[in-house]
Structure 1
Amino acid sequence: MADKMPSYRFGLRLSERGCVAGIGDGIAWIRGLPSARLDELIGFDDGSTGLVFQLGKEVLGAILLSQSRGVTAGMSVQHTGRRLEVGVGDALLGRVVDPLGSPLDGLPPPELRQFRPLEAAAPTIIERDFVSEPFYTGNKIVDTLIPIGKGQRQLIIGDDGVGKSALALDAVLNQRGRDVLCVMVLIGQPRSSVAGTLEALRQAGALEYTVVVVAEANALPGFRYLAPFAGCAMAEHWLRLGRDTLVVYDDLTRHAQSYRELSLLLQRPPGREAYPGDIFYLHSRLLERSTVLGRDYGGGSMTALPIIETRQGELSAYIPTNLISITDGQIYFESKLFAAGMLPAIDIGRSVSRIGGKAQHPAIKHAAAHIRLDYLQFLELELFARFGTRLEASIEQKLQRGRLLREILKQDRMQPLPEQFHLAWLLTYGEGLLEKLSPEQVAGQLSRLFERLPDYDLTLDTPKSQWLATLRELLEAES
């Protein structure tokens, strides 16, 4: 105390203190803080904290960030002068945390020395660079026909229960050994689904390079709203350090619903489907933070895989159209394909990657040049052939090749494949090395081929002639 006395100065000190006018459903209405700012943290006398979310003439609305039951009407509230931040750094790898960084895995809190605000401006145009490096998910269809580049925002869209989350999980598992740090944001999911995802990550050894941010279905709407911004801030830290990152938002439908719930509780004017007018800005400011930086700014990348849910395959619904317009392409899952056993149930005709082709490796790009068109033509021919019309030999041959391709494109979940395997099946199919097989034999033949392929020193840069010689040798040995 004596050490502080020389620096003490008499003076008038003013501070604002408000009081809680009402509370309910995770929202606190506060009077008496006229200089409060949006996204400012405020403190309650019982130790709870809140986030200023709406400013009014007489009262302001705040999101409660803790579920303390001690907050009551009339309680005193004061400024903190701080914005909401979350801890970032390598100590988060392998951990399961909530949107505020508190551990949910029963382990001690991670020791974090750096913090980033949840809300931050997206990188400027000067800082950004072109998407030029491929991002491999391990999926046959995506990596060859709907390629993704590092720094791209690729939407995963489809009805509930058709495999969207499984594809995103496979993408995370495929980053093992690739020096890509992953952040999985699970929004509004039941505890059983969260536990299943964590178990899959543990069994595959993917937790060591992954952070899981969880806002369960029974969490306060404010937590579900903050979850994707927290995951983005964690990945943004590594982005600025020049690292490659992947962020999975599973899913933004529940996030939009949480924002609508908050907006209605705060008595904001509802718009289409009761969503507030700024719902489009909600997701655009989140996804615009995903990019690839230029070398002068670190050269890191943040690839985003947002997931959105449709109802009965309706792509023109309000939230899906918003996300489609924001992202750089979409992977569309079709419920009819799922029911027919075509897994993954990706509709190649409706799926598109607007910029991923520029990042695709030339060898895969050249080998897959006509695969997409051939498959779409096969689907039309197959539909025509159902009428029982007698077909020409050339049409029968195209149907046979199409059936082979359909079997090749099938892939079990949690079995991502390296890019060398993609090039292998593209070349074997493109050169007609599998045409003597029936569709039922293709899967087994490719499986045996993939088992022996690592014994050969083949890369994507290996000449095509050497690839074909090796593939013919392996196939002849199997036959």
Structure 2
Amino acid sequence: MRFKADEISSIVQREIEQYKTHLDVAEVGTVMEVGDGIARVFGLNSAMAGEMVEFDDGHATRGLCFNLEENSVSIIVLGEDSHIREGMTVKALGALLEVPVGEAMVGRVVNAIGEPLDGKGPISTPHRRALESNAPGVAERQPVKVPLQTGIKAIDAMTPIGRGQRELIIGDRKTGKTTIAIDTIINQKGKDCICVYVAVGQKESSVAQVIEVLQSHGAMDYTIVVVAGSSDPAPLQYFAPYAGAAMAEYFMYEKGQDTLCVYDDLSKQAAAYRQMSLLVRRPPGREAYPGDIFYCHSRLLERAAKLSAELGGGSMTALPIVETLEGEVSAYIPTNVISITDGQIYLVPDLFFAGVRPAIDVGISVSRVGGNAQIGAMKKVSGSLRLDMAAFRSLEAFAQLGTDLDKATQSQLDRGYRMVELLKQPQYQPLDIFDQVMVIFAGTRGYLDTVDRNEVHRWEEEFIKFMRDEEVEARKLLENQKKITDEVETALKASCEKFSKRWVHAHTSETQTVGS
């Protein structure tokens, strides 16, 4: 048999074209020891900090390179480490940790790596985003000047929050910190704002109650809940806030939407990070926290911003929560987070247990954005409210000494007591911003001075109903102008005087009826 040269050359050419030049090469290492969610691995000499790895344990368990040492790599195990044994193979994946993001996440309850926990089936989304990403630079931001109303009178009037701001909620346990955050989420209904609630180190029963409240108020329609409960491993508690930020960033960058992130709470995240750092033998600093604990929180909170118009104008507003012990605001983690944020809302146990809820200490609470985060009407009516309330607290302490007070001081004290009652608010009942303006207008202009302190809440309810049902024109004028112009002030004064006469007449009739 003779071979033709052209046939042989065509076969050789085809073989060369089909020859695979790409070899599937992966860097592998060997597990030396494992325990407490940390695996020490020999090998992986080219591993990057934060790179994902996969254990050959039959469950495809994944981990993350946390500490790069001279002869080994300490890896955080993302999930159950009971299947991992000494001598097992570990493969580097050459990618950083990512979480699923997108519209499919809205209304779902997920863990720190985006896996569903609500029993509603898998989440189908083509979008993924790195857990960690750089915060936008100064040139990529614009000033915070659009209000993000919480629906809470004491906050919207005295410590307002703007879209893109970072406002710390701080106080002892059981003082209503989570309630403020949940009220703010509920108040975003119909305002085209995607909310992310991140529960770190909370009891599962407490998180279930929060989810139930959000569902009953229709807030889950625009909310993502990220849960790393108290029974979850420390790595998941550490990653959860970053995962929540990544999910919000998708809407901020890709859709140009406003978002709100609640981190509840960062003191538990710091404790989880300390646990991980001590396990990999990083040198402990103050209170045994690692030296980069400040960076841990700053790189999270700096991702909150109001983006420039060129980048779509989206925003991320951050409401971090920090728990204090016995009101110790000067402790390590609280001072760290205070220095990163644009203000703080400080809740006091004494006021809380005295029935003043929200229990906000107006002396320490502050918003560094201030009036820029308020509509003109609220800025006008609440201008001196914060100073007046702080002065009232000092005057109240003085009056408790039993000193005789002159008429002017006594009237100032009486108005202060009524304003305290007026600023009280039941939980999960956020108030429309224009209702807030009208109520505070009436209180600061003295229309409540003759109302009994115990009747203030009832007066407020009836006044809001009266303005909505009967004084429609005055309310509509305020809504349209959003400022206290001479025209609006005249209309509001007329409405307040009309209601005051009706209140006095009705109250007098009630008293006579009870007397007879």
- For the criterion TM > 0.5, the same-fold answer is yes
Partner of 1:466: 491
Partner of 2:324: 310
The reply on whether 1:152 has 2:165 as its aligned counterpart is yes
**CA-to-partner distance for each residue in 1:364-408, whole Å, 9 max, x for gaps?**
111111111211111111211122222111111111111111111
Partner of 1:18: 29
The reply on whether 1:141 has 2:154 as its aligned counterpart is yes
Partner of 1:387: 401
Spell out the pairing of 1:123-138 with structure 2 (5 A cutoff). Answer: 123-138=136-151
Seen in structure 2, the aligned counterparts of structure 1 residues 265 and 472 have a Cα distance that, compared at 3 Å, is same
Deviation at 1:135, TM superposition (A): 0.9
Return the match for 1:419 from 414, 433, 439: 433
The reply on whether 1:113 has 2:126 as its aligned counterpart is yes
Deviation at 1:464, TM superposition (A): 2.3
Return the match for 1:95 from 83, 108, 122: 108
Question: Partners in 2 of 1:105 and 1:452 — Cα distance?
Answer: 43
**CA-to-partner distance for each residue in 1:67-94, whole Å, 9 max, x for gaps?**
1532111001111111110111111111
Q: CA RMSD in A?
A: 1.6
Q: SS in structure 2 opposite 1:230? A: helix
Contact 1:152 1:356 in 2 (8 A): no
Deviation at 1:209, TM superposition (A): 0.4
Question: Partners in 1 of 2:86 and 2:15 — Cα distance?
Answer: 38
Seen in structure 2, the aligned counterparts of structure 1 residues 7 and 439 have a Cα distance that, compared at 3 Å, is farther
Question: Partners in 2 of 1:400 and 1:5 — Cα distance?
Answer: 95
Deviation at 1:471, TM superposition (A): 3.1
Partner of 1:39: 50
Question: Partners in 2 of 1:73 and 1:219 — Cα distance?
Answer: 23
Question: Partners in 2 of 1:468 and 1:91 — Cα distance?
Answer: 49
Q: SS in structure 2 opposite 1:61? A: strand
Which has the greater radius of gyration? 2
Deviation at 1:461, TM superposition (A): 4.1
The reply on whether 1:376 has 2:390 as its aligned counterpart is yes
**CA-to-partner distance for each residue in 1:434-470, whole Å, 9 max, x for gaps?**
1111111111011111223333224134722223223
Partner of 1:9: 20
- Tell me the amino acid that sits aligned with residue 175 of structure 1: Q
Spell out the pairing of 1:162-311 with structure 2 (5 A cutoff). Answer: 162-240=175-253, 241-311=255-325
Return the match for 2:422 from 403, 408, 420: 408
- Tell me the amino acid that sits aligned with residue 290 of structure 2: P
- Structure 2 unaligned blocks of 5 or more: 1-13, 505-516
Return the match for 2:86 from 70, 73, 80: 73
Deviation at 1:330, TM superposition (A): 0.3
Question: Partners in 1 of 2:275 and 2:42 — Cα distance?
Answer: 22
TM-score norm. by structure 2 comes to 0.90
Contact 1:222 1:258 in 2 (8 A): yes
Mean Cα deviation higher: 386-395 or 194-203? 386-395
TM-score norm. by structure 1 comes to 0.97
Question: Partners in 2 of 1:266 and 1:25 — Cα distance?
Answer: 10
Contact 1:183 1:211 in 2 (8 A): yes
Question: Partners in 2 of 1:245 and 1:376 — Cα distance?
Answer: 32
- Tell me the amino acid that sits aligned with residue 46 of structure 2: S
Mean Cα deviation higher: 134-143 or 6-15? 6-15
- Tell me the amino acid that sits aligned with residue 351 of structure 2: L
Partner of 2:62: 49
Q: SS in structure 2 opposite 1:135? A: coil
The reply on whether 1:450 has 2:472 as its aligned counterpart is no
- Tell me the amino acid that sits aligned with residue 31 of structure 1: F
The reply on whether 1:441 has 2:452 as its aligned counterpart is no
Contact 2:51 2:97 in 1 (8 A): yes
Partner of 2:9: none
Contact 1:134 1:356 in 2 (8 A): no
Deviation at 1:153, TM superposition (A): 0.1
Question: Partners in 2 of 1:449 and 1:10 — Cα distance?
Answer: 79
Seen in structure 2, the aligned counterparts of structure 1 residues 389 and 271 have a Cα distance that, compared at 3 Å, is same
Deviation at 1:356, TM superposition (A): 3.2
Deviation at 1:429, TM superposition (A): 1.2
Seen in structure 2, the aligned counterparts of structure 1 residues 303 and 7 have a Cα distance that, compared at 3 Å, is farther
Question: Partners in 2 of 1:11 and 1:406 — Cα distance?
Answer: 73
- Tell me the amino acid that sits aligned with residue 267 of structure 1: R
Deviation at 1:142, TM superposition (A): 0.4
Seen in structure 2, the aligned counterparts of structure 1 residues 469 and 6 have a Cα distance that, compared at 3 Å, is farther
Q: SS in structure 1 opposite 2:139? A: coil
Question: Partners in 1 of 2:154 and 2:503 — Cα distance?
Answer: 25
Seen in structure 2, the aligned counterparts of structure 1 residues 477 and 5 have a Cα distance that, compared at 3 Å, is farther
Mean Cα deviation higher: 13-22 or 292-301? 13-22
Partner of 2:510: none
Question: Partners in 2 of 1:466 and 1:177 — Cα distance?
Answer: 28
Question: Partners in 2 of 1:174 and 1:124 — Cα distance?
Answer: 30
Contact 1:363 1:461 in 2 (8 A): yes
Question: Partners in 2 of 1:185 and 1:25 — Cα distance?
Answer: 24
Seen in structure 2, the aligned counterparts of structure 1 residues 110 and 57 have a Cα distance that, compared at 3 Å, is same
Deviation at 1:358, TM superposition (A): 1.6
Partner of 1:431: 445
Question: Partners in 2 of 1:300 and 1:404 — Cα distance?
Answer: 40
Q: SS in structure 2 opposite 1:149? A: coil
Question: Partners in 1 of 2:414 and 2:266 — Cα distance?
Answer: 40
Q: SS in structure 1 opposite 2:198? A: strand
- Structure 1 unaligned blocks of 5 or more: none
